[in-house]
Every structure is written in structure tokens, then in C-alpha cells.
Amino acid sequence: MSVLYITETGAQVRREGERLSVWKGKKKLHSSPAYDLHQMVLFGNIGITPAAMHTALMLGIDLVLLSTTGSYRGRLVGPQGRNVILRQMQYRRYEDEDFRLGAARGFVSGKIRNMRTLIMRLARRRNRDIAHTAQRLRALLKQIDRADNADALRGIEGAATATYFGALSQFFPTAFPFTKRTRRPPKDAVNAMLSFGYTLLSSDMESAVLRVGLDPYIGYLHLVDYGRPSLALDMMEEFRPVIVDAMVLDLLNHGQIKKEDFEQRDGGVFLCGDGRTQLIRAYQDRVAVQVQYLQPSGQVQKVSYRQCFEFQARRLIRLLRGEDAAYMPFLIR
């Protein structure tokens, strides 16, 4: 199953027999078998005919609507998972403060451990000394089990993220200076790419959460708020450095993104044009990479990163049902 990203302003999605095609005026830009898609991501002013929309809903194709810069606008999905008992369990667990804190510890632990692994891997390749950063992240990891409330845990996560990005800045090319994470709006090119990539990752994770029958709006680390897919945000934490940060570094260090691929407006910097297309293509390639995944049974299976998203959502279900004592995050080596 694949994802179709549509970025051409003024394009329209149409149904043609058993295929979904993208047209702009009289020119066909793309065509895919409808049964081969599990998601379509529409950027900005993209149209879709009623026939194409009905086909997407009938086949369970997730329609995600983003702005031209990648800001999330909403999604159109077919009937939700019918496992009401599972969602009732999810809601009950949300009311259990001990459970909520335990699950959140797993998400934060996975994120910090993967940030630490990535930064150490980069340091070995570039012969850089990041011993202080590695020690700081290790110390913050040890604090996770001692955090007795969600605010303290979020404080640990925030401190670790700031430490990590402070060290990550030295691995970007000098043409793209980066000092710290900024968003809403992003203040430089690196932040523009990170924000865009995180939006794609969040969309994929929300889709995975929906497929397994969970409610993406009831999370355990991120605060529950109107319109916020808190669970999807929770579960993408461990994948941020693995998928997006590593991808952005590769794109910039290999010269695949240029300065002219950005525009300044509304007080921020945004990825546009060919640069956006390059990042989307790189993201698709990244989530298709095959990795070794340890199943709860102990069996090691070779799967794509995108499949890992759903497997991790199912690990959370095991935790909800009491089959696992703790949430086991996905970790890189």
C-alpha cells in the first residue's frame, strides 16, 4: 500500500474506472490503482471529484488536507474502527494517572535514546567530540523513572530535546546555520524542513493509530486539547530523530536542497517549489527503508519504517490490555 502526495496547485483528483488520477487542466500528472493506496495527502488548493472521494471512502483511503506549507488542516476518513471495547479501554486508561505516566515514560525514553544514538553516530562519522551531550542525555534518561508527574516528564523531554538540537547544529552545512528549534513560524531553512517533515510523520502516525482502532486524540504524554491528535504526537516522538532529523541532515549535506528552495513570509521561512517536492520524495524513500523489528513474540522481522508505525501502535494496545508491563519503544542501533 502506498501514499500519494499531491502538491501541484490547481490539480484535481478524479476517478477513472478502478484508478485515481491527478489532472491539471487537460494534462494527466499521475495515475494509481485505487486499491494500491492507503492515503492521499493534498497540499493547498487541490480539488477532488465526488466520485473520487466516494471511492476513497469506500476503500478506506485516508485523505489528509494540508496547507501549501505543510500545516495540518484536517482529514477525511471512512468509518472508524469498530472495536468500541478497545476505545473504551483507551479512555479508561487515560483516567488512570499511573498508567498515563508509565506510557509517557516509554515515549520519552524512546525519543531520548534515539536522539542520543543518532548524535553519537554522527559524531563518529565526522570525528566530533560530543561526549558532554551524550553524558547529559544519559543523565536525563536516568531521571525518567524518578519523574512522578507528567509535567516533570515533559520537562525532562524538553531539556533533552534542547540539548540534542544544540549538538545537532554542528552537523549542518555552513550555508544553512541552525542554532535551536523554532516553529510557528520556523525562523530558518533547517527549521522549515524539520516542521514540514514532522507534519508528514504526524499524518502517517495518525493514520496508523486509526488503522489499529485507537482514538488519535486521547494521548498520554501530550496534553489533550481540542483538535490535537495527542496520541499520534505521543507515538511519533521516538521516530522524529530516526525519520525526519536524519533525512533533513542528508538532504542538506548532499546539496539536494538549495537556498532558492525557501521563501520568507509571515515572519518565517518556508520550504517551497522543488525543495518541497525533494523533501516529500526523500520522506517516502525514508519510511520505505527496511529495518529489523523485534516482535513481542521474540521473532525478528524485516519491515519498513512505515510498518513500524503500526506495529508500535499495536504495542500500545498490548499495554492497554495489560499484556505488557511497559511500553517498548522502537530503537535504532
Domain annotation covers residue 327: no
Query: Is 325 contained in some domain?
Result: no
Q: Are residues 166 and 66 in the same domain?
A: no
Instruction: Give the end of a domain, one of 37, 56, 76.
Output: 76
Same domain, 208 and 70: no
Quick one: cell of 229?
491528535
Q: Which of 23, 55, 76 is at the close of a domain?
A: 76
Of 42, 76, 110, the domain-final residue: 76
Backbone φ and ψ of 15, nearest 5° = -95, 135
Give the total number of structural domains in the chain.
2
Do 127 and 162 belong to one domain? yes
Same domain, 62 and 99: no
CATH number reported for the structural domain that contains residue 31 in this entry: 3.100.10.20
Domain membership of residue 330 (yes or no) is no
* Whether 170 and 58 share a structural domain: no
Indicate left, alpha or beta for 131 from its phi (over 0: left) and psi (-120 to 50: alpha).
alpha
Q: Does residue 219 fall inside a structural domain?
A: yes
Q: Find the DSSP H helices in the chain.
A: 50-59, 84-95, 97-126, 131-144, 150-168, 189-211, 230-236, 246-253, 273-287, 305-320
**Residue 83: predicted pLDDT:** 76
Residue 215 counted as domain residue: yes
Write down the residue that cell numbers 477513472 correspond to.
16
Which structural domain range is residue 61 located in?
2-76
Q: Which of 258, 279, 261 is nearest to 175 (CA)?
A: 258
The confidence score (pLDDT) of residue 211 equals: 86
Q: Which residues pair with 75 in a beta bridge?
A: 64
Rg value, the chain, Cα: 20
**Does any domain span residue 45?**
yes
- pTM of this prediction? 0.88
Same domain, 252 and 227: yes
CATH number at residue 158: 1.20.120.920
Residues 32 and 129 in one domain: no
Residue 81 confidence (pLDDT): 62
Query: Do 95 and 41 share a domain, yes or no?
Result: no
**Whether residue 251 sits in one domain with residue 122:** yes
Q: Is residue 333 part of a domain?
A: no
Residues 39 and 159 in one domain: no
Per-residue pLDDT at 198: 95
* Helical ranges in 170-256 per DSSP H: 189-211, 230-236, 246-253
CA-closest candidate to residue 330, choices 157, 110, 164:
110
What is the rounded distance in angstroms from the CA atom of residue 203 to the CA atom of residue 37?
15
Residues 171 and 252 both lie in one domain:
yes
Q: Are both 51 and 147 inside the same structural domain? A: no
Q: pLDDT (tens digit, 0 to 9) for every residue of the chain, 333 residues total?
A: 688 889 888 999 999 998 999 999 889 999 999 988 888 889 888 999 999 999 988 888 888 888 887 777 888 877 666 678 999 999 999 999 999 999 999 999 999 999 999 999 999 998 988 999 999 999 999 999 999 999 999 999 999 999 999 999 999 999 999 988 988 889 999 999 999 999 999 999 998 998 899 999 999 999 888 778 999 999 999 999 999 999 999 999 999 999 999 998 888 999 988 899 999 999 999 999 999 998 888 888 999 999 999 999 999 999 999 999 999 999 998
Tell me what pLDDT residue 297 has.
84
CA distance 186 to 194: 9
CA distance linking residue 199 with residue 152, whole number of Å: 26
pLDDT for res 220: 94
Asked whether the beta carbons of 18 and 33 are under 8 A apart, the reply is yes
326 belongs to a structural domain? no
